[in-house]
Structure 1
Amino acid sequence: MRKTRSLLAAGLACLVLPLAVPPADASTPMDKRLSFTCPFPLIGKQKLDVEVKASFEVPSAPGGTFTTADLTVAVTVPDKSTRGLALVGAASIEGTASAGVTLANGSLTLPLALPLTVAKTAVPASGAFTTQATGSVPPVRLPNAGRTTLTIGDFSTRLTPKKADGSFTGLGSFTSDCTLDPGQDPVLLSFDLGTSSHDYGVTGSTTLKALGATAPLTGSFTGFSPAFDRTRAEFKVLGFVPGTADLQFSPDGPQTGEPAGDGFVAHAKLALALPQVTLFGLPVADAGCRASAPIPVDLKTGSGFAPASGGPLSGEYPIPPLTGCGAFTAYLSSLLQGPGNTFALTLTAR
């Protein structure tokens, strides 16, 4: 009886496999074949061929959602396993699985547990038969531009053969773990998540509301990521004390966004450093003076923007309290921090 159970387990343990989405355009039906091997007592390793079909939606830009639909996994159960099922009186087979894949999107690495369900399938007296499993990948927001991959991993199945009257066979329910056969590409989906086909130069200004000052800005804008050159704002405290503040805005972490009409919205997160601040021409801040937290700003293209040539881009942002400025940190914070600061920019395609 132990040998019969092992033969049966060998044929059934691989009935469920994880999603295998091949590279393709969005909303396209897909079809891919893979093989997995499951080790079992007495009979050693068993291999089953699997056909996976699915359709999926790939976002056109960072910030969009990756979704999968119509996932079906068809496994051909060989005659050896069918005969093993017959020996224990099994008339049907059903079960579940927990499959592991890894989604990598730029700096994001996200393990996904994919639940799959093996539909109740009639077992013939002999010969091969096919069982179907269904499931889906949960929708995932992809925040980063660049190469995005979905890679297959190991999976575990929990299967239950039953008699014609619905009662359990001598096998009960059993769990088995399977691995992808070597020589197969584990990357099931790979694509470049676009940002923009254009690289822009930047000119414009930023207005610091609390200081009542404006500083010119130059730099570049690639994808959804701005890169500004160091600039200087000139201001007066109490209407007569002259001062200057050097400003350096730089990206802080992933920069995301999405298309909007003929343009886009960039969800920027910027670090702000103030490497030099003066009053009456004398330095009053240490070189490490900076904003104490990243600055979020939504930069939106305006009327007249065209991807091929560029156009206006603007946004409003807060300045958090400063840190690292030395003895005058609290005072300088009171001069700069607060909401209502703005970017008014022009993008020019390069």
Structure 2
Amino acid sequence: MRSRNRARTAGAALAVAVAASGLAGAAGVAGAGPAAAQQVTLGLDYHCTFPLLGPEPVHVDLTATVPDAVEVGQQMHGFVVDSVSTVNADSTRALGALYSVTLEGDALADATLVVPEEPDGLPVQVDSTLDKTTLPASGEFKVHGTGTSPDLVFTQAGSGKVTVGNLLLTLTPRTDDGGPTGLGTFQSECTQDPGQNNVLAGFQIDLPGAQGPSKPGTPTVTAHTSTSATLTWGASTDTGGTVTGYDVYSNGSVVASSTGTTATVPNLTPKTTYTFTVKAKDDKGNVSDPSDPVTVTTDAAGPASHAYTLKGTTTIKASNGTAPLTGVLNAQIAPDTGAVTGDLALDPADASLQALGFLPVTAHLTFANQGPTTGTYANGALGTQTRVLVKASSFAAFGIVPIGGGDQCQASAPSTLKLASAGTFDPAAGGAVKGGYDLAALTNCGPITGLLSPLVAGTGNTADLALTPKSGS
């Protein structure tokens, strides 16, 4: 069933392309004149309501080569819009369960053209036929659609843009004998998810014969972060007016403006490649040709910081001992690699041990880190390791009779505490972690060091802990 949604998506994209074409034609079109072109891409997410399933997510990718500018009264040649939708393997299996072999139907797309003649936008509905698509037995498949706009002529100068709206799909999955499945033919309303940029293309309509500003110099990237890029370019000149400013474009939309020859583009996505051009504008309403493009890849996002309180217990296998563990873990998680770095601070703890299998002994333990905490986080799984030197300042029989310890009493080598998430770990919410460590033999614990060391030294020790986000972290 979800495959059907995806197949509709491709048809929806085709319908959107045709809708954009019809819109542009409805705005007042007919004449001639070549213009520079820009390649634009647009990805849109929808939720389409299907029988039995309810709202299902659908994604459409559109690509088009659209003229940058056209003069009033001159022809802007039609442009082709390609759409590609990928159907996932789960959806393919769902369609197969209905004995579907092919999918076909129609898409009715809403789109809007905004030009000086129609400043509030001209809504148009365009119907298109979906290509018949053969479904694979398993795995993903792609559906491709194409639409071409008519030639256009505009009557007023200014800016124009085409936006893509909602979809109505009429679909028929068919079996291998060409007959419909149990669903027959049905309609699905697709609502665009809010908060998206739904501008397919923007272009400029110039006055005929206007000189306008010259093409700006090729921009250069003077600085970039994970979410912004700063550009600078050569100034434009103007023979018929005065240059009043510049607009920076990406994918056919204005992403920054400036009265000078530098601008910072905000709200970018980390670790993403962008292509920018610059257009100058003057006091007569004219806009220049676009500059040559510049491409920049934003930085990876910085590591996210998390602070946790730690609480749980540890078992010391050598003497059937236990000790409470509390403390703090401050960690940073790199979003691109999942690398974890941090600092683990464990509070002192009193361990309850058994000497000779029956004599209760209390050991006061402290923990000294021997380096940072390191590890990885990926797909809900957290793993860390920390080198810790365990010290025992005192041992007391029955909790009151001193029998050893001291400032120099400690393990002869650091322990490596390895922890892993127990179940799915959410860095924002914390979670349970478990692990283990070995303890080396004790040294410098007094005359009976040789008797005290076996109480703690050995392998197979465990830790069972909970990490809880600190308030405000």
TM-score by length of 1: 0.48
Structure showing greater relative contact order (alpha-carbon pairs closer than 8 Å, 6 or more residues apart):
1
Which is higher, the Rg of structure 1 or of structure 2? 2
TM-score normalised to the size of structure 2? 0.37
